[in-house]
Amino acid sequence: MSAASLHITLNGDSHEIEPNITGVELFADNKDIIAVRINGNPRDLYTPLHEGDVVESIAIDSEDGLAIMRHSATHVMAQAVQEVRPNAKLGIGPVIKDGFYYDFDVDEPFTPDELKEIEKRMQRIIKSSQRFVRRVVTEEEARAEEADQPYKLELIGAAEDQISAEEAIEVSQGELSFYDNVDRDGNVVWKDLCHGPHLPNTRFIKAFKVQRAAAAYWRGNEHNPMLQRIYGTAWPSKDELKAYMTRLEEAAKRDHRKLGAEMDLFSFPDEIGSGLAVFHPKGAAIINAMKDYSSKLHETSGYSFVQTPHITKGGLYETSGHLQWYKDGMYPPMHLDEERDEDGNITKAGFDYYLKPMNCPMHNLIFKSRQRSYRELPLRLFEFGTVYRYEKSGVVHGLTRVRGLTQDDSHIYCTREQMRDELKSLLEFVLNLLRDFGLNDFYLELSTKDEHKYVGSDEIWEEATNTLASVAKESGLELVDDPAGAAFYGPKISVQARDALGRTWQVSTIQLDFNLPERFDLEYIAADGTRQRPVMIHRALFGSIERFFAILLEHYSGAFPAWIAPVQVLGVPVAENCLDHVNSIMSKLDKTMVRSEVDSSNDRFGKKIRNASKSKVPFILIVGEEDMNNNAVSFRFRDGSQLNGIAVDTAVEWINQAIDSHALINSVDDFTAHTDAHAE
């Protein structure tokens, strides 16, 4: 090495390199390395290195590598779009979960044929091996180059605190830059305002797919122009792309909105309003099963059930802080109780009433309704409380994002000394109940203070955050940080559950709150006779019943375990003369509260069986002449397998055992394994 050599740290080891060497040379023998992290910041392989730099390689299949590849694909897509629609104005092209999108201002929406053409042109661009070359510019130069791009000009002029995370890829980190797409002859064939980083060249985009187009407001604001958004995805290999598309197909089959209609579970009547669901008898049966089981567990775990109204005076939410921090998510007020004389003069002032968005302020009033002693703590209040949140129309989505939702809401009031043990037992309680519903793959997320949206002192927030983090780590589950994701009154742990397709859903939350007890002046009498402030723990186990319903519906693809299935047993007579025997069996099941139905239609037996198989009912009981003569019944399971000639009383006993055990039984093998285990 020469005297002018540079000392760097490369993937944890010290190295000396010649000046002017970049990541391109350092990783020339490893084609999976597509970028580097220099002093913690992702950068292009072409970025110059300096004395003392800490350099880490970024592989294409890593989280950062995938994001870089997908963002590079957005540039390729935008280039292809402007070939198809030369007058298209460019919005932004960020990376999202499993893919990317780019927004365009065009005269007409994109057609399916155009999307196919855009994909073909992207493929040609990728094969042409265009290089992504970064070029730093001044603001004046950027404005000159983007003179015909109004949306880019708006971003250039926006202050740093006005830029969203999605927009930050364009103009963040204090300097402006373009990325030029340079062909093999060195010609700039396209460019885009972007901070990067990007792939070395387009051929590193191994497998991609243009998925769909949709309308989207510029910067997510309904007062802004409506743009056209094209979504796509990209993966390190064709096999991974194929696997992803297969997962999407399976997810579409499991879409709770589709299954909800097919299984007659719920609907969203236009006459009621957006985001407000009604549950049909079968859907309500599932809801009741969820509530009943949850209620039993809470009853045996020291919770006191409460009930609160759906509306309240606005002053309650001024005290809690919701009107300051959450008003945009609340329904508008109703001004009531005002009285006027004959001349129209106000003789009694009215009040603004609000539909409640949260149960916690009302639970605080219950705590405060009388003097409390330390002997009553921890006090655990529980409610299935319906709340109302004014979600924007573009955000409302089936049962997963609604405007009226029922929370299995609990608020625990305890002493500082009880706080840690209560949090540990709460987390264990939550995880065990989720497992009972068939979710077993979890990790935890710790949401911390938003520096621009919080109440209380930094010291209190630090204590609350450290306590939650400690309890989360002791659980042994993976803990992921969610910076600035907390509510305004305290940090939280979120339980993230993976479903049968490996998708992640936020389910339960546990929030530690020192602030609302202060705002509501909550007190208890301590052992020494002094008045002390309790700690408040917010806990929603399902999150909301509606959303958890949707998660379970998609997780099981409608084929619920018998204990929560809307119809647990379906009776199918082979012939009309068998109907009375079927009804007698159902009468026995009715006495044990089993949810049953009988197919008494005039359809042929073959059609009845086909319909029964589509119904997703756990147990189909078939009765023919021989069964009727022997006081027996035949079991048919979801996979089409059967058990024949089972005595009626034995069948009733087995069904009740299976329901009580919460077992998921889809076949003869599942059933015999369950009954054998029960016999032991």
Model confidence pLDDT, tens digit, residues 389-445: 998 877 889 999 999 999 999 999 999 999 999 999 999 999 999 999 999 999 999
Same domain, 386 and 448: yes
Residue 149 annotated in active site? no
Same domain, 464 and 569: no
Same domain, 528 and 628: no
Give the end of a domain, one of 297, 322, 354.
354
Amino acid (one-letter) located at 104:
F
Phi, psi of 294 (to 5 degrees): -60, -40
Counting as low any pLDDT under 70, the low residues of the chain are: 1-3, 159-161, 172-174, 677-680
Please state, in angstroms and rounded to a whole number, the distance separating the CA atoms of residues 537 and 385.
Answer: 17
pLDDT score for 171: 72
258 occurs within a structural domain? no
Which of 164, 259, 228 shows the shortest CA–CA distance to 555? 259
Same domain, 504 and 618: no
660 occurs within a structural domain? yes
Structural domain of 22: 4-57
Same domain, 499 and 479: yes
680 occurs within a structural domain? no
238 occurs within a structural domain? yes
Residue 198 annotated in active site? no
Tell whether residue 194 is among the known ligand binding residues.
Answer: no
Tell whether residue 360 is among the known ligand binding residues.
Answer: yes
Which residues, listed in sequence order, are joined to residue 229 by a DSSP beta bridge? 103, 214
pLDDT score for 3: 52
188 occurs within a structural domain? yes
Residue 389 annotated in active site? yes
264 occurs within a structural domain? no
Give the end of a domain, one of 510, 526, 554.
554
Same domain, 298 and 237: no
Name the 3-class secondary structure at 419.
helix
Catalytic residue among 70, 198, 411, 595: 411
Tell whether residue 397 is among the known ligand binding residues.
Answer: no
Residue 211 annotated in active site? no
Same domain, 280 and 421: yes
pLDDT score for 221: 81
pLDDT score for 552: 96
Residue 506 annotated in active site? no
190 occurs within a structural domain? yes
Which of 15, 39, 209 shows the shortest CA–CA distance to 122? 209
Phi, psi of 340 (to 5 degrees): -130, 155
Catalytic residue among 44, 53, 192, 409: 409
Same domain, 381 and 470: yes
Same domain, 28 and 114: no
User: What single-letter DSSP state applies at residue 89?
Assistant: E
Catalytic residue among 229, 254, 492, 555: 492
The predicted model scores a pTM of 0.83
Residue 360 annotated in active site? yes
pLDDT score for 666: 87
Same domain, 90 and 236: yes
Residue 614 annotated in active site? no
Number of domains in the chain: 5
Same domain, 440 and 523: yes
Same domain, 342 and 480: no
270 occurs within a structural domain? no
Q: What is the CATH number of the domain that holds 24?
A: 3.10.20.30
Give the end of a domain, one of 57, 74, 91.
57
Catalytic residue among 198, 389, 449, 539: 389
Q: What is the CATH number of the domain that holds 360?
A: 3.30.930.10
Catalytic residue among 149, 228, 407, 532: 407
